Amino acid sequence: MEHARDMEPAATALLVIDMQRDFCSPQGYAARAGLDVARLARPIVQIQRLLMAARAAGLLVVHTREGHLPDLSDCPPEKMRRSVRAGAPIGSAGPMGRLLVRGEYGHDFINELQPQAGEVVIDKPGYGAFHQTRLEGVLIGRNIRQLILCGVTTEVCVHSTLREAVDRGYRCTTVGDATAASDPALQAPALAMIGVEGGIFGQLASTDQLLLALQVTTA
């Protein structure tokens, strides 16, 4: 992994993006919208490995959740229309509560990836984790300069957050096998976009490469 020896644990954060029941459970929003939730759940084991290593190395750990206020006042009309077209209207009733609504069981993180005490939780109304959230303030307050990204979906929320971060000057590493796309045909192209123009959106690593880099920097 390029720049492994330049990684500073105290200046690095692991972003675990949207590993929620609404996206990874067969009873959630994604399943109702026709997505393959078994595929979206595949990175769980790799993300567990990343979390263990990040916690041991003292990285800041940030978990994001996509969802909206109960009155849906922060849900743009066009986003609502898209969810209706997908067959999963935001705010409608589901087996785990209202779809993509904060405070509902489906909106929360899956059991396997629950945050630990002291870790940061960012509730976001959009696809990118910086849009209308406190994330940037958290990162600035902790002097974070490098981000490690994982989670779902590769082509939407992971990429949206990655692009927002790059525009803000963060050095970014996306852990490819710790992400999943909603359609298998989208995974490889979404990852390939990261490395164009000399790594325009940072660098790509596997979980094993990232764990090795953390071992190098903490040795």
- Kindly write down the DSSP assignment for every residue of 139-182, as one continuous string: HHHTT--EEEEEEE-IIIIIHHHHHHHHHTT-EEEEEEEEEE-S
What pLDDT is stored for residue 1 in this prediction?
A: 56
Which is the catalytic residue, given 18, 22, 108, 123?
A: 18
pLDDT-based confidence at 128, cuts 50/70/90? very high
pLDDT at 2 over 90: no
Check: CATH 3.30.590.10 for 4-218? no
pLDDT-based confidence at 76, cuts 50/70/90? very high
What pLDDT is stored for residue 156 in this prediction?
A: 98
What pLDDT is stored for residue 200 in this prediction?
A: 97
Query: Smallest Cα–Cα separation from 99: which of 87, 88, 86?
Result: 88
12's enclosing H/E stretch is: strand 12-17
Q: Residue ranges of the domains in the chain?
A: 4-218
User: Mean pLDDT, to the nearest integer, of 64-90?
Assistant: 98
User: Mean pLDDT, to the nearest integer, of 40-45?
Assistant: 98
pLDDT-based confidence at 5, cuts 50/70/90? low
* Mean pLDDT (the chain, rounded): 96
What pLDDT is stored for residue 61 in this prediction?
A: 98
pLDDT at 4 over 60: no
Which is the catalytic residue, given 22, 24, 123, 124?
A: 124
What pLDDT is stored for residue 215 in this prediction?
A: 86
Strands 60-66 and 12-17: parallel
Tell me the C-alpha distance between 172 and 189, whole Å.
Answer: 18
pLDDT at 3 over 70: no
Query: Smallest Cα–Cα separation from 101: which of 113, 89, 116, 112?
Result: 89
| Verdict on whether the full-model pTM lies above 0.75 | yes
User: Mean pLDDT, to the nearest integer, of 95-118?
Assistant: 98
**Residue 124: active-site member:** yes
**Residue 172: active-site member:** no
**Residue 18: active-site member:** yes
Q: What is the number of helices (H) and of strands (E) in the chain?
A: 10, 8
Which is the catalytic residue, given 108, 157, 172, 177?
A: 157
